[in-house]
Amino acid sequence: MLPLLLLLLSLNQPAATAAATAATAAAQSEGPLLKVKVGIDEDPTTATNKTSDDYYDDSYNDQTNTDSQWLYELIEERDECDPNPCYNNGVCENDGDGDFKCICPRPFKGKRCQSVINVCRNVRCGRGVCVFIDTEPFYECKCIAPFQPPNCRRPSPCNPSPCLNGGTCVKGRTRASFHCNCTENYSGKFCQVGPDDCYEGDGASYRGFVSETISGHDCVPWNTHFVSNLGDDDYTEAGKEEEEEEEEDDGIGPHNYCRNPDGESQPWCFFRHNNTFYWDECNVRRCQGGTALTPTEPSTEVAITRPTPENEFSVCGKLWPSRITPRIFGGRKAKPGTHPWQVSLQTRIRNSTQPFTHDCGGTLLSSCWVLTAAHCIHEENEMQVELGGVDLEKSEPADQKLAVQSYILHENYTEIDDVQYNDIALLKLKPVTEDGLCARETRYVKSACLPPGPFPDGMECSISGFGVTEKDERGSKQLLDTKVLLINQNRCMAPNVLGDLLDDSMVCAGRMQGGVDACQGDSGGPLICKQNETHYIYGVVSWGDGCGKKNKPGVYARVTKFLDWINEKMRSK
């Protein structure tokens, strides 16, 4: 059987991926739009999005159900509105079928009132861009100087002067042209960049005023409708105080200054070209020795915080406190550090000189131990693991690559008619230090916890991996993730679902109406459930009947069934 890759399909819209290095997103679109890289010499108009819904069953053609209701069949009846699942002051109503409906205040929409309606759809801003505001009519035109409000059609160069910090505005030859003569030590189109305007590390703390990309494009404001409505989790908030803390921390707001809210290598911004949005790194100087210097090329340094050796991996299942606002990258593209226990298991034929290629997923349990699926292991293959990164095609500072020293298959692992039983294995990594350490703990590399016991049906968990997407059966080079529900075992064993193929070594999860599943290429990857802010590895991606099909949820090795085996093998080695 082919290994399983993670398929991430949204019930509301197609899943975007980073399989391509550039993608376009029409300014008037209401679909999920992910950050799309455009190189300096690249024509933005040639960029494309790549999406997919192929599973290891290539004949699958079922139409994805676009209804966003969760399955709650055979789950103990409860009040779905307690606590309130609706964001942004939405009012929750129970629908009587074990689900809920959110009544959203304007301008919010979505299953949980997490997105914003396109208030800019019919707005024409001339030489400007429509931005979202939180008061009626919920939009305004942000004009590009020298064009003036309210509709950005009338130019008025130098009146008022757009030049800052004592700069002098000089009219050009045309009625809409001007330039700023800046005072000493100031630069930028509006003299807004001061002598100390530079970034350190990866620029996460940068709060300067550069608003131009390295390719010369002007940045658009962060509160444009395009940026505000990225992904499925836009405007998700666990409370107003948390949202305000996040906004203050990442520097995002109603401005167009460069920032780095998502772990890139330096500050960046979105820009618009021919009514299409892209992103690029910014022309920001890098601080060096206390003096702002212009780097010869963009820095790729990432500040990687590491605990002392004696404390490494002493605490499992805890994420590094996030500084990334959810309204920037909700949806499919995983942020750096979101799944720090995620492993890419890579293989090549033993004694070959060919490069390693991604084959399966896995979960880091400790510095030297990885949990994966037994059917991922082949005697003829040499294996290594890659940790820390979120892009297999990009060499990232957080990456750690380690050789696999040995492996242990479960003694009762069998495969019958493409169904794997006791599909679990352990990988022992090769130590790289004298004190026997293998992986080193950082904010991007951490271990998941083994579960204390069974979790309830209906619990929302997550799956992640470098999975196939809607149209690219080769798989995504970008780490993807999505949410699934734990499904009642009796429901999964119904004749119209998976029948008697299941046994107690398995657990199924997904959505019974289809659209979200684990697929070929990421067998062995994690099904992670969070309880009390601790992340537990509850399942190992194993097999399934098709991909994303209705009534065919994904099947995972049930980790609680193998706790004694896992602990015994790790101790004995």
Q: Judge contact between 238 and 327, C-beta under 8 A.
A: no
| Rounded Cα gap, residues 139 and 544, in angstroms | 46
Give the residue numbers marked as catalytic.
375, 423, 523
CA dist 73 → 70, 76, 77, 80, 513 (Å) = 9, 9, 9, 13, 12
454-468 in b/e form (b: 16+ CB < 10 A) is: ebebbbebbbbbbbb
Q: How big, in percent rounded to 5, are the helix, strand and coil portions of the chain?
A: 10, 30, 60
**What does the block give as tokens for 63?**
């139409």
Q: Is 237 exposed, middle or buried (0-12, 13-18, 19+ CB in 10 A)?
A: middle
Closest by Cα among 279, 222, 231 to 24 = 279
**What does the block give as tokens for 275?**
């009514």
Q: Judge contact between 331 and 32, C-beta under 8 A.
A: yes
3-state SS assignment for residue 43: coil
Q: Judge contact between 146 and 155, C-beta under 8 A.
A: yes
DSSP for 63-93, please give it. Answer: PPP---PPP-TTS----TTSS---STTPEEE
| Rounded Cα gap, residues 19 and 391, in angstroms | 9
- Counting other chains too, the contacts that 291-298 makes at CB distance below 8 Å and 24 or more residues apart are 292/195, 292/196, 292/197, 292/198, 293/198, 298/214, 298/265, 298/266
